[in-house]
Amino acid sequence: MSNPPETQLCPSRRRWLAGALAAGALHGVARAQFRVEISGVGATQLPVGVTKFREEDRSGQSISGIVRADLERSGVFRIVDSNGDFDETSRPAYPEWRGRGADALVAGSAARLSDGRFDVRYKLWDVVRGNELSGGAVAVVSADLRLAAHRVSDAVYEKLTGDKGVFSTRIAYVTRVANRYTLRIADADGEGGQVALNSTQPIISPAWSPDGRALAYVSFESGKAVVWAQDVLTGERRAIANFRGSNSAPAWSPDGSTLAVTLSRDGISQVYLMDPKGGNLRRITQSSAIDTEPAFAPDGKTIYFVSDRGGSPQIYRVAAGGGNPERITFNGSYNISPAVSPDGRTIAYVNRNGGEFKVMTLDLAGGAVRTVSDTVEDESPSFAPNGKLIIYATRSQGRDVLMTTTLDGRIRAKLLTTGEDVREPIWGPFGR
């Protein structure tokens, strides 16, 4: 891991113009263009300039706009006045950029190649020290221009923070317009969505396989809840849990060899394990209460789930091989929808308090609980694969919307303000 930004880029000489420029009109324009609504202020945001990529207007994608929105949404960066006419081959006027309050600068180009592809190039400079930090080039077809932009964001993020970026990962979610339900797969910023499944009946609980090739989900197309698994690339799908009663809440084990599901086949909703094709069914919870929403810990050895065995829904954990469950949430009378962080140290979940449903995090070692949302109808939290962001569903201005938030709740961004109801987000793995 490289150094964190505070040591790599001198923090002492930052903000003298930050208030005048970074919070000004140009900043707002960049946001509006990409429909990313950011709320909150981070304590240690790194000011970065991202100039317009040369020839990006002719590519059909605002590559610099995508990069700016990515970096902002991460909560780690603040975009400064980024007007400037140059590319990755230029030599930036460091004093001018320092004057704008920037600590780092990104520039690049997207030239059309003779074969119709686009040559996306970028360079990253340390404005404070006045040197080049990294650069890269990739030739892509136009359909992959957004991906190329997200890869630039990932490279910048990793170079400046030492953590792997998640901007080129994918998310899945469900949109609803009247009685049309659509399972979509999109870039991590919610844009560029492609349809995986259309239905006139509800679709809930999508779950990525660890290799990112398949989605399991619950579809009501047959008149009841049935768990399906679908190959994302080919569209090939099969019902993998279709027992008497309801079949729901699919969750993949980290090695992809096992699925946990909730079945009511034995008279009440309980958690079972099965092979991804539906075989080798075994029940792992044994209660006379609701047991549901299984989620594997990243080591695959522990399963978190929700049970109302104590009189109200709370989060428990049990060994994946079975055993005595241990209750882990104690604050409040309604704690549901656990998601485990990639390092296994934190769970995100939804807590009801006085009629408000909020995404919370629980530090499993220390027991500290933190509220990370400022909305009151939150659902379905899911961690980014680098563990630095949580995506969740909520309601805003009468619509179902998706939000991302940093784990400290300081920087939140609303995705996809398209006017459709959007729900059931799940963040996909690294690699695509």
Partner 1 sequence: MTPFRTSLCAALVSAWLVGCGSSVKLDDAAPVVDAKANPAGSNAANANAGRGVNSGQSSVTTVDASKNDAMAGIGRVVYFDYDSYALKDEFRPLIESYARALSAAKTKKMVIEGHTDERGGREYNLALGQRRAEAVAKSLMLLGASDSQLEAVSFGKERPANDGHDEAAWAKNRRAELKDR
Residue with tokens 């059309």: 112
Neighbours of 159 (CB within 10 A): 17
Shortest spacing between CB 324 and partner 1, in angstroms: 21
29, 45, 197, 266, 380 from 36: Cα distances, Å = 11, 17, 26, 46, 20
Report DSSP letters for 414-432, one per residue.
EE--SSSEEEEEEEPPS--
Distance CA 165, CA 388 (A): 9
What is residue 144's DSSP assignment? G
Give the residue with the Cβ less far from partner 1, 145 or 183.
183
118, 181, 232, 385 from 217: Cα distances, Å = 36, 13, 12, 19
Residue with tokens 């979610």: 173
Shortest spacing between CB 206 and partner 1, in angstroms: 11
Shortest spacing between CB 266 and partner 1, in angstroms: 11
What is residue 143's DSSP assignment? G
Neighbours of 91 (CB within 10 A): 9
Shortest spacing between CB 201 and partner 1, in angstroms: 8
Distance CA 237, CA 223 (A): 18
Shortest spacing between CB 313 and partner 1, in angstroms: 6
Classify strands 46-50 and 104-112 as parallel, antiparallel or unpaired. Answer: parallel
Shortest spacing between CB 88 and partner 1, in angstroms: 46
Distance CA 336, CA 357 (A): 10
Give the residue with the Cβ less far from partner 1, 104 or 249.
249
Shortest spacing between CB 337 and partner 1, in angstroms: 5
Give the residue with the Cβ less far from partner 1, 144 or 424.
424
Shortest spacing between CB 274 and partner 1, in angstroms: 17
Give the residue with the Cβ less far from partner 1, 50 or 174.
174
Give the residue with the Cβ less far from partner 1, 87 or 293.
293
Give the residue with the Cβ less far from partner 1, 152 or 426.
426
Give the residue with the Cβ less far from partner 1, 90 or 201.
201
Distance CA 284, CA 349 (A): 22
CA 412 remoteness from chain centre: 12
Give the residue with the Cβ less far from partner 1, 79 or 290.
290
Distance CA 53, CA 106 (A): 9
Q: Which residues bind partner 1 (CB under 8 A)?
A: 202, 204-205, 218, 220, 223-225, 244-246, 248-249, 262, 264, 267-269, 290, 292-293, 306, 313, 334, 336-337, 350, 352, 355, 357, 379-380, 423-424
